[in-house]
Amino acid sequence: MKLQVVLTRVLVTALVLGAPSIARAKIERAVRRPDVLKTLKVGQWLRIEGEVRNDRTVSCTEIKLLAGDFQDDDWEMFGQVEVVDRRNGEFRIAMVTIRPSENADFESPDGSIKALADLRPGMLVEVGGTYTKDGFLATDVDDESGGRRAFPRQRRIGITARIERVDVARRGITAMGMVFVVTENTQIKSVIR
């Protein structure tokens, strides 16, 4: 009986003394997450993913802060083709216009994608190349649709890009002309390339 009383007292004491530190750790973690915006710099490379919203912003689900040697042609984008404009030789993912270079490398698992003319709205693609304010000049266009012919609407995109702007007050990161809104659910990681 005495042992039960002693164990109960020890447990209650541990909970009373430990609870504030556990609560403080959760609060500190929640406060630190938005503070990552304060550490970001224009020109810094990152991999950022999220869901395109109706207001043309992107709800950011994951940020990977990249470190390493990046070149001007290391830009990447993954997403669903929304429009293919064969006349102007370009297509669009989210709000970004992509123009394949003259010698762009088109790839697909089954070999069916060899040129811009083979792309269709709804396909999932990953492109690599160079981004400028005029759009994305793609040197690589890879079909990631997995051989599917029907494409449900997909709002998820991912980019590897340089930060153009950081708005700490609105919790936004602008990259490739798109505003990614950082939420309390955004996962933040650091990666060395």
Q: Which fold has domain 45-192?
A: OB fold (Dihydrolipoamide Acetyltransferase, E2P) (2.40.50)
Residues paired with residue 140 on neighbouring β-strands, in sequence order: 105, 128
Find out whether 65 and 186 touch, Cβ atoms under 8 Å: no
pLDDT tens figures, 64-106: 999 888 998 899 999 999 999 999 999 999 999 999 999 999 9
Q: Long-range pairs for 45-48 at CB < 8 Å and ≥24 separation?
A: 45/70, 45/74, 45/160, 45/161, 45/162, 45/163, 46/160, 46/161, 46/163, 46/173, 46/175, 47/158, 47/159, 47/160, 47/191, 48/158, 48/159, 48/161, 48/173, 48/175, 48/180
Note the pTM of the prediction, 2 decimals: 0.77
Q: Are 59 and 181 in contact, with CB atoms under 8 Å apart? A: yes
**Confidence band of 28 (pLDDT split at 50, 70, 90):** very low
